[in-house]
């Protein structure tokens, strides 16, 4: 069965290691915070100037001066800090953030990513996405393998305006976990109950399959 958004987030949460500083993009990535193991210490960075981002507040405790990059009200955890936008992106560009998780509309086998613009239809802006993908060494993309029309979004070449070039390393979709290699996407894991054939059919890009592909382990 293809994964739902929460299950994709659960699988990605397994990549978060003890002591990591993590930036979560809007959409599916924000759900990752709910599934990080509670026996490890992690700090979430919000690009609008917060480290140590915590869960949403209880009703009645919302603070207009405390929001995340998606403009939602949040709280902070012990050890949190506030800083300005120049320092925030200095943190990002200076590779002080260990892991960046963001969404995408398309990824290509050379690691290109498009996630900010559909010309003539959706031109909301790139926000911090271009800084994040250009700076991070460790990027995981959370995305749907195919769009609503069943067309593959894992491509040989992106068709939409690019957010960054050659920057994606790992992709987790509702069907698979894949890694970008010089020869194409390497299939690492498949969603429980999803066949390799199904994934091949859903992937327009070059897909490398080496031996038996294990299922993702998601509780």
Partner 1 sequence: MINKKVSSVQEALQGIEDNMTLMLGGFGLCGIPENAIAELVQKQTKNLTCISNNAGVDDFGLGLLLQQKQIKKMISSYVGENAEFERQMLSGELEVELIPQGTLAERCRAAQTGIPAFFTPAGFGTEVAIGKETREFNGKMHVLEHAFQADFAIVKAWKGDTAGNLIFKGSARNFNPCMAGAAKITIAEVEELVEAGTLDPNQIHIPGIFVQRIFQGVKFEKRIEQRTTRKK
Catalytic residues: 47
Spatial strand order of the sheet with 154-155 comes to: 113-114, 106-108, 154-155
Identify whether the C-beta of residue 16 lies closer than 8 Å to the C-beta of residue 35.
no
What's the DSSP call for residue 202?
Answer: H
Say whether residue 82 binds partner 1 (CB under 8 A): yes
Say whether residue 17 binds partner 1 (CB under 8 A): no
The nearest distance, CB 38 to partner 1, in angstroms, is 16
Which stretch in 65-73, 139-147, 187-195, 205-213 sits in contact with partner 1 by CB under 8 A? 65-73
Identify whether the C-beta of residue 68 lies closer than 8 Å to the C-beta of residue 26.
no
Binding mask 94-113 for partner 1 (x = CB under 8 A): ------------------x-
Residue 133 or 199 having the CB closest to partner 1: 133
Phi and psi at 133, nearest 5°, equal -70, -30
Which stretch in 130-138, 178-186, 195-203, 207-215 sits in contact with partner 1 by CB under 8 A? 130-138
CA-to-CA separations, 137 to 64, 168, 180, 206, in angstroms, rounded: 33, 9, 13, 23
Which of 38, 39, 71, 148 contacts partner 1 by CB under 8 A?
A: 71
Q: Any bridge partners for residue 51, and if so which?
A: 45, 81
Say whether residue 182 binds partner 1 (CB under 8 A): no
Q: Any bridge partners for residue 49, and if so which?
A: none
Residues 6+ apart with CB under 8 A from 76: 50, 52, 53, 54, 66
Which stretch in 1-9, 163-171, 180-188, 204-212 sits in contact with partner 1 by CB under 8 A? 163-171
Say whether residue 65 binds partner 1 (CB under 8 A): yes
Q: Any bridge partners for residue 209, and if so which?
A: none
Say whether residue 78 binds partner 1 (CB under 8 A): no
Say whether residue 162 binds partner 1 (CB under 8 A): yes
Contacts with partner 1 by CB under 8 A lie at: 46-50, 55-59, 61-68, 70-74, 82-86, 88-89, 92-93, 112, 120, 123-131, 134-135, 161-166
């Amino acid at each position: 069965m293809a994964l739902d958004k929460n299950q994709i987030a659960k699988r990605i949460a397994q990549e978060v290691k003890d002591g990591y500083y993590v930036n979560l993009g809007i959409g599916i990535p924000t759900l990752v915070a709910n599934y990080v193991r509670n026996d490890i210490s992690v700090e979430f960075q919000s690009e609008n100037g917060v480290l140590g981002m915590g869960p949403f507040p209880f009703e009645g405790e919302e603070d207009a001066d405390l929001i995340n990059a998606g403009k939602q009200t949040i709280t902070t955890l012990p050890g949190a800090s506030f800083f300005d936008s120049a320092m925030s992106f200095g943190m990002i560009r200076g590779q002080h953030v260990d892991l960046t998780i963001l969404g995408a509309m398309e990824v290509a086998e050379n690691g290109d990513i498009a996630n900010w613009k559909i010309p003539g239809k959706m031109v909301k802006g790139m926000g911090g996405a271009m800084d994040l993908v250009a700076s991070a060494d460790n990027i995981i993309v959370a995305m749907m393998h195919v769009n609503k029309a069943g067309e593959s979004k894992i491509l040989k070449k992106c068709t939409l305006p690019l957010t960054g070039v050659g920057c994606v390393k790992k992709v987790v979709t509702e069907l698979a976990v894949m890694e970008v290699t010089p020869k194409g996407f390497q299939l690492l894991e498949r969603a429980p109950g999803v066949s390799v054939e199904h994934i091949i059919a859903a992937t327009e890009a070059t897909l490398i399959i080496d031996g038996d592909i294990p299922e993702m382990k998601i509780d």
